Amino acid sequence: MNQVFSALADPTRRAILHLLREGEKNAGELAAPFNISKPSVSHHLQVLKSAGLVLDERRGQQIYYSLNTTVFQDVMAWVMTMTDRGEPQQQ
């Protein structure tokens, strides 16, 4: 969970996740809106992938990235336990 929150702390990574809400994109499509180098975008994608927030799939010479909604569901479940007065429920 710490890795997820660390990844979400960066505004560029949050912007990349926002772009992926529209659907899968390759690294070039994700880099286009930013005024940073492609290696920097690759680093951000690697951090998001390591945190489990994005999935990647190679198709030929392109790698396509998509959101891993399962991790977002886990984070939301944890946030919801913070609003409960009782103990977190086991799943």
- Quote the pTM value: 0.81
Q: What pLDDT sits at residue 21?
A: 93
Biggest CA pair distance of the chain: 51
Q: State the DSSP code for 21.
A: T
Domain boundaries, the chain: 1-73
Total H helices, total E strands in the chain: 5, 3
Separation of alpha carbons 30 and 15, rounded Å: 9
Q: Is the pLDDT of residue 52 over 90?
A: yes
Q: What is the mean pLDDT of residues 46-55?
A: 96
pLDDT number for residue 55: 96
Class of domain 1-73: mainly alpha
Tokens encoding 46:
């690697």
Q: How confident is the model at residue 30 (pLDDT cuts 50, 70, 90)?
A: very high
**Cβ pair 52, 2 in contact under 8 A:** no
